[in-house]
Amino acid sequence: MANNMRYFIGNWKMFGEPGSIGILNKINRFVKSDKKFNKKYKVIITPPHTLVQSYAKAFSKQKIIIGSQNCYHKDSFGAYTGAISPYMIKSVDAKYIIVGHSDNRSEGDTDEMLKNKVENSLKNKLKVVFCIGENSEHKKQKKTFEVLKKQLGNVLEKKFNPKDIIVAYEPIWSIGTGQIPQYDDLYKTVKFIKKILKSIFGNQSSAVLYGGSVDSENISQFSPLNEIDGFLIGGASKSDQNFVDIIKNYYK
């Protein structure tokens, strides 16, 4: 069973309006009453940009932490219609940011843009949840390790502090599909990712999460995998009951 700090990160994607704060109140209430919280795990929720400021304010003295999803690749202010920079996200008190999600990669995020996003986010003291993952074609052609190595090596640099980065391994074929990797494959892949991270950061690794169709039913399959430092949870994070059950069942 888990010894190290675990992360349960909820990625709301394009979901949420001001009233959705009720979901977070319930999750917060649960973690407040759970003795394992903070000693064994942290909870971070990333609502859309429209809600970051009000939610970050509401939970500033509470247990759960508010993060954000994606940002523009340039920082500060500029003539970029519709864009939101890491500086602006930090100014409304987000603590974390998801960068490199396959949703954003598929809309044109290049490695160069992702490197800028990571660098500018770190510069603004946002902790980065950096997503990587192979698609089903890569998997079929047994190119998973090659793809992951490139995704990591092209963006992460030795000068970044590995403690400010969390890597989320999210196979694209598993996001929102109900399919999860085989236990052995996942074990080998997470080990491989940690090895690459050590080669980048000089024998230090970042935390490595798994993401893709995690729910309250399948979470117990991940509990014995000590190498996994937590989970990035999409669909199931939009329900307080599902999210809380994921945490409960992980530690059962």
State the residues that interact with ligand PGA by CB under 6 A: 11, 170, 175-176, 211-214, 232-236
Instruction: Calculate the alpha carbon distances from 57 to 24, 83, 92 in Å.
Output: 13, 22, 8
**Closer Cβ to ligand PGA, 201 or 250, answer by number:** 250
Tokens of residue 31, six digits: 């973690």
**Closer Cβ to ligand PGA, 89 or 214, answer by number:** 214
What 8-state DSSP symbol labels residue 236? G
Euclidean distance between CA atoms 71 and 64, whole angstroms: 22
**Closer Cβ to ligand PGA, 230 or 235, answer by number:** 235
Choosing from 134, 137, 170, 217, the catalytic residue is: 170
Question: How many residues does this entry show for the chain?
Answer: 252
Strand locations in the chain (E): 6-11, 41-46, 65-69, 96-99, 127-132, 165-169, 207-211, 230-233
Choosing from 73, 101, 119, 138, the catalytic residue is: 101
**Closer Cβ to ligand PGA, 58 or 225, answer by number:** 225
101 is catalytic: yes
The single residue listed with the structure tokens 């508010």 is 66
The minimum distance between CB 10 and ligand PGA, in angstroms, equals: 9
Contacts of 2 (CB under 8 A, 6+ apart): 40, 223, 226, 251
What 8-state DSSP symbol labels residue 107? T
The minimum distance between CB 31 and ligand PGA, in angstroms, equals: 19
Name the residue with the smallest CB distance to ligand PGA: 234
73 is catalytic: no
The minimum distance between CB 203 and ligand PGA, in angstroms, equals: 29
The minimum distance between CB 176 and ligand PGA, in angstroms, equals: 4
Task: Find out whether 181 and 211 touch, Cβ atoms under 8 Å.
Answer: no
What 8-state DSSP symbol labels residue 14? S
The minimum distance between CB 220 and ligand PGA, in angstroms, equals: 16
**Closer Cβ to ligand PGA, 65 or 75, answer by number:** 65
The catalytic site residues sit at 101, 170
